[in-house]
Amino acid sequence: MTRKPRAPFFVVNPKAYLYGKQSLDLALYADKLAAEYDIDIIFTVQHADAYRVSQATNNLFVCAQHMDGIVSGRGMGHILPESLVEAGIAATFLNHAEHPQTLEELVKAIKRAREVGILTIACANSIAEAQSIALLGPDIMVCEPTELIGTGKVSDVSYMKSTNQAVKDINSDVMVLQAAGISTVADVLQALNSGAEATGGTSGIVAADNPKKILTEMIQAVAQWKKENKS
């Protein structure tokens, strides 16, 4: 059975901002935070960095930023699920706004991820799309309006609550991540208070003057929220 993160959890998603040594450095720091605060952290990597990061860390869910629903054989240029498992990948994003997939591609990718034991994090940019993708049964849904990604502007609380409920009405087992524009501790708390199981960030962390400082503050906020709300 695919191991799932414990709510509330956090996603650090450097996209293509970081790679190689910089990615590893932040991953190692996130690994320490995960252990210190007992918070599950999903850390996305460039595919070329997957093995390096997975071998160097102990507490992270090392996550691919994309995976294709192919089987071993033909598939030049596509990402084979088994290759991710061999590289130490535990999870993968699917259908991100910056790497969209057709419905057929998404169905195949989720099916193959289940077969090899990779956690699926499927993205949707509207309530209607969130409902449709929730029917496919991904492990986690990311509900973020495309126009807010990377802007530092977060979804309003009503949108968060509406998408949370829309997903849960379709499949209560699907965990929900609210992450559009998360850049402050207040944003983190707003996402968790909306009823989502997780939040996370990209530019709000990696583009900050001190990425480790803001990441620490965010993880501390998640840990404190957990202490106050999960007792």
Which letter does DSSP use for residue 56 in this model? H
Residues whose CB falls within 8 Å of the CB of residue 97, separated by 6 or more in sequence, listed in order: 123, 125, 144, 146, 149
Annotated catalytic, 66? no
| Rounded alpha-carbon distances, angstroms, from residue 114 to 7, 65, 166, 177, 183 | 21, 17, 23, 20, 32
Distance CA(184)–CA(204), nearest Å, equals: 7
Would you place residue 150 in the very low, low, confident or very high pLDDT band (cuts 50, 70, 90)? very low
Helix ranges (H only) for 63-144 are 81-86, 103-116, 127-134
Would you place residue 146 in the very low, low, confident or very high pLDDT band (cuts 50, 70, 90)? low
Distance CA(220)–CA(227), nearest Å, equals: 11
| Structure confidence at residue 1 (pLDDT) | 64
Which letter does DSSP use for residue 10 in this model? E
Does residue 9 have a pLDDT over 50? yes
- Is residue 142 packed enough to be buried (19+ CB in 10 Å), middle (13-18) or exposed (0-12)? buried
- Exactly one of 66, 96, 129, 197 is catalytic; name it: 96
Mean pLDDT rounded to a whole number for the chain: 92
Distance CA(37)–CA(220), nearest Å, equals: 7
**Which range among 38-42, 132-136, 147-151 shows the weakest confidence by mean pLDDT?**
147-151
pLDDT in tens, 65-85: 999 999 999 999 999 999 999
Q: Give the helix/strand (H/E) hosting 62.
A: strand 61-64
Annotated catalytic, 96? yes
- Exactly one of 66, 129, 144, 197 is catalytic; name it: 144
pTM for the whole thing?
Answer: 0.93
pLDDT in tens, 110-138: 999 999 999 999 999 888 889 999 999 99
Architecture of the 9-229 domain: Alpha-Beta Barrel (3.20)
